[in-house]
A and B are shown apart, each in its own frame.
Chain A
Amino acid sequence: MDETKSTTAVVETRSDWPPELLLAMYERMVVIRRFEDTVYDVYSRGIMPGLAHLYTGMEAVAVGICMALNESDNITSTHRGHGHLLAKGGDPKRMFSELLGKSSGYNRGKGGSMHIVDMSLGILGANGIVGGGLGIATGAGLSAKVRHENRISVAFFGDGALNEGLFYEVANMASLWKLPVVYVMENNTYGEYTPADKSTAGSGPARAEAMGIPSRSADGNDVLAVYQAALWAVERARTGLGPSFIECETYRWRGHHMGDQGDTYGYRNAEEIDTWMRDCPIERFKAVLIAAEVAGEPDLAAIDRRVQQEIDEAVEFAKNAPYPESAEVYQHVYA
């Protein structure tokens, strides 16, 4: 594939991208894939209550962005948040526990899939409101500026959230005040069950540019292309140049949520899904790593096995963990 060739060339020419970094990217993408496969499994078997919006197929976006961040940088995520949290270093044990409503979960079972937070990792939360993280990420940017901290924020959001008014209110202020924020729009082709091109007039990047926010588009299935765009935006944020906008085109293999598999809702067909699955971001990156001689098949297979074991252990841990005590229902309402 042409993309493979071009990204291979990128790998070969960038000596500042050491093999450890590239392999860490690979591993995190596999962690997300295996995590979501396992969520699919436990959800399908009725072990997980509530809702699940899977990130499968979009791994390159979260990983490409988060690998350009420091641990102290902040991110906000979405209802489709597992990938972002894992890419930022989230602990699969505590995540699975949260998904199953257990007291060992990040939020002691009070938030569930759409509300996981880890303040120590700068994960200011997945969010159940479409676009809900945009204000929080921008506010964290304001905080960093007022407090003179070297800390940037990334707001992940989808093509659906692009049409929420909040984006324009907060991005406008970020641009006016040169806040250290990166807006990452994951254009995964659909907002719920409606195609992006039936929802959005013009484009995300053009809207950002209209507010004086420079933008880049990256192939959202190419982790190195996303990473390059992230480096550009992160550098701008760290040097006081203000916010940037990155659009990543990608696809959610497993629909809007667990009840939307295949063509259940009739808005997409098997051929389209198959086309995108053949453009798997992990397989593409694997080919790049092998072609660039960063790793061989057996090395990558060893990573795959290690990750699978980690995820298996994590879900077992969660299954065996206790539910919260009844008394906790009234705790944490007020500080």
Chain B
Amino acid sequence: MSTPERIGTIREAINEALHEEMTRDERVIIMGEDIGVAGGVFKVTAGLLDQFGPERVIDTPISEAGIVGLAVGAAMTGLRPIVEIMFNDFTTLASDQIVNQAAKLRYMTAGQTQIPLVIRTAMGAGRRAAAQHSQSLQAWYSHIPGLKVIMPSNPADAKGLLKSAIRDDNPVIFMEDKMTYNLKGPIPEGDYIVPLGEARTHRQGDAATIICTSSMLYPAQEAANTLANVGIEVEIIDPRCLSPLDDATLIRSAIKTGHVLIVDEGYQSYGVTAEIAARIQAKAFDYLDAPIYRLGAADVPVPFAPSLEDLTIPSAEKIVELVKELVA
């Protein structure tokens, strides 16, 4: 591809997408706690207030339900709001607005209205932030018809997916792993769009498929290098969107390798890994040489002590161990 690009962080990629979309469409506004003057707790929204002014870059009170509630009403009446909910753990405070209002209004009204709303929120463990600031609740929102759920793993995808999300006429939950904000990679310049619902294959291999969401790409890549040293070539696929999910790409790879491990940072029970496994086995059962393996976060509230927290997050070592077992 000849798209010019620069090297930058995921934080910069998201910030760039926000600037570009707010410049492109004056109906786009952004609201949230400390996103204006302070530029956001993770500094993702820096510079927006100066460029677009307080009418479109709105510092709100600490009122998650109210913020999303206002955004739903604004989305019904001609704006295209982006809401920042500081930590995805706090989306629980707005869950009625997300689940009962935003997700359902288009269907309940037979298409009389639509909710072009993006909720950006930080997820993931590893920050030593304990059980109420470290969860990965993507399975909750992927469970709800009417919502789209996006989990970018790298700067280019973060930019391209966020721009698609802002242009989408549906409510979108955009989950940003807080541990990856400083992660660097190429950021395509200009109007770079990644369509929603297309998985990305990061590595080709024949021995096994690792399907990994968001930051789980990195332990998966580390594991893939280790495994390659012992002659096991794995394929790595990042779904990028959980809803809509690119089943076809995942199933095709499962048929090709016959061995599948799914890694996601949400709790393992009733999680994203379970749904993906079910979809694959329904279409690829005859091609599988082993049961589909799953690796999620440990089914415990995320503990504070670093020594304990590390035990709950999927690791490269664990992925290596599981893949070896899978292909044995």
Contact of B73 among A136, A172, A328, A334 (CB under 8 A): A136
Cross-chain contact A173 with B63 (CB below 8 angstroms): yes
CB-CB under 8 A from B114, the residues of chain A are 335
Q: Does B69 contact A (CB under 8 A)?
A: yes
Against B, the Cβ 8 Å flags (1 = close, 0 = not) of A136-152 are: 11111111111100010
Cross-chain contact B109 with A143 (CB below 8 angstroms): no
| A129-B110 CB under 8 A given contacts A134-B69, A139-B69, A172-B66 | no
Cross-chain contact A333 with B145 (CB below 8 angstroms): yes
CB-CB under 8 A from B55, the residues of chain A are 145-146
Interface size class of B (residues with CB under 8 A): 35 or more
3 nearest interchain CB pairs? A135-B69, A139-B73, A169-B66
CB-CB under 8 A from B43, the residues of chain A are none
Cross-chain contact B109 with A172 (CB below 8 angstroms): no
Interchain nearest-CB distance for B324 vs A (Å): 41
- State the A residues within 8 Å of B (CB): 74, 76, 106-111, 115, 117-119, 124-125, 127-129, 132, 134-147, 151, 153, 165-166, 169-170, 172-173, 176, 328, 331-335
B96: nearest chain-A partner, CB-CB: A129
Cross-chain contact A334 with B170 (CB below 8 angstroms): yes
Kindly state the separation between the CA atoms of A129 and B74 in the bound complex, as whole angstroms: 19
Q: Does B75 contact A (CB under 8 A)?
A: yes
Q: A138-B66, A142-B79 are in contact. List 18 more A-B contacts (CB 8 A).
A: A74-B77, A76-B73, A107-B108, A111-B108, A115-B108, A117-B108, A119-B76, A124-B73, A127-B101, A135-B66, A135-B69, A139-B70, A146-B74, A170-B66, A170-B70, A172-B66, A332-B111, A335-B114
Q: Does B112 contact A (CB under 8 A)?
A: yes
Q: Does B71 contact A (CB under 8 A)?
A: yes
CB-CB under 8 A from B101, the residues of chain A are 127, 129, 132, 135-136
Kindly state the separation between the CA atoms of A143 and B78 in the bound complex, as whole angstroms: 7
B81: nearest chain-A partner, CB-CB: A139
Cross-chain contact A169 with B109 (CB below 8 angstroms): no
Cross-chain contact B69 with A107 (CB below 8 angstroms): no
CB-CB under 8 A from B109, the residues of chain A are 106-107, 110-111, 115, 117, 125, 332
B66: nearest chain-A partner, CB-CB: A169
Contact of A143 among B74, B111, B112, B169 (CB under 8 A): B74
> Which B residues, 107 to 124, have Cβ-Cβ distances below 8 Å to chain A?
107-114, 116
Residue from B73, B96, B111, B170 having most chain A Cβ neighbours under 10 A: B73
CB-CB under 8 A from A176, the residues of chain B are 61
CB-CB under 8 A from A334, the residues of chain B are 106, 146, 148, 170
Contact of A139 among B75, B106, B110 (CB under 8 A): B75
Against A, the Cβ 8 Å flags (1 = close, 0 = not) of B89-100 are: 000000011001
- State the B residues within 8 Å of A (CB): 29, 55-56, 60-61, 63, 65-79, 96-97, 100-101, 105-114, 116, 145-146, 148, 168-170
Interchain nearest-CB distance for A333 vs B (Å): 5
Cross-chain contact A142 with B112 (CB below 8 angstroms): no
Kindly state the separation between the CA atoms of A106 and B108 in the bound complex, as whole angstroms: 10
Cross-chain contact A124 with B108 (CB below 8 angstroms): no
Interchain nearest-CB distance for B118 vs A (Å): 14
CB-CB under 8 A from B146, the residues of chain A are 333-334
Cross-chain contact B110 with A137 (CB below 8 angstroms): no
Interchain nearest-CB distance for A320 vs B (Å): 20
Interchain nearest-CB distance for B82 vs A (Å): 13
A135: nearest chain-B partner, CB-CB: B69
Cross-chain contact B77 with A169 (CB below 8 angstroms): no
Cross-chain contact B65 with A119 (CB below 8 angstroms): no
A123: nearest chain-B partner, CB-CB: B112
Cross-chain contact A144 with B105 (CB below 8 angstroms): no
Cross-chain contact B108 with A136 (CB below 8 angstroms): no
A172: nearest chain-B partner, CB-CB: B61
